[in-house]
Amino acid sequence: MNRIFLTGVPGSRWSGIAQELENEGNYDISDRTPERSYTDKGNHVGVYFGKGMEFPAMLDTKNLDLPYEKKGKKPKLHKSHEWSLMLSTINYFYPKDGIILIYRPNEAALAWWLEAGGFNIAYPNYDYYKDEQTMAKHIAIQNEAILKFAHKHKLKWKHHHKHYDVLIAKKFPK
């Protein structure tokens, strides 16, 4: 497995979960730079793909690999809120790679995103979402896509050990 696509809505605590996974030492973390870091409340480290970001959420292998310095054997954990809307495409074009879904209810996710800094954080850039109402709409749309994909593929949800209102589902190749 060369890559794992990780998605969750803003405020789903997915960044902390990504850090936990990466800190286990099994992932390529050569995408981490000081410019790609915000570790106040949000704990965002490494590249985030998406609109208004350094790298767009494009499923092009060159684009996906460009932020990484190393070309080793460890898989890359690709983070994007926008993957939630591309899950079937990811599954089709990257069948030998994994997908991790993070779900947190809409209201709780928005509340945490605002508490963690909202539009005032240094990284990543959330300008695309414009305002709180637009963010709430995107959270709902992305969560719906995540739940729909999980249901279609009969994925099992597990509670995250630190945050019991956060659920994780994984789809890995057989």
pTM score of the predicted model: 0.93
pLDDT in tens, the chain (174 residues): 899 999 999 999 999 899 999 989 899 999 998 889 877 766 788 999 999 999 999 999 999 999 998 777 899 999 999 999 999 999 999 999 999 999 999 999 999 999 989 999 888 889 999 999 999 999 999 999 999 999 999 999 999 877 768 899 999 987
Handedness of CA 96, 100, 162, 19 (dihedral sign): positive
What domains can be seen in the chain, in order of their start residue? 3-171 (3.40.50)
Encoded amino acid at 65, one letter: D
Diameter of the chain measured on Cα atoms: 42
pLDDT of residue 37: 82
Q: How far apart are CA 119 and CA 135, in angstroms?
A: 10
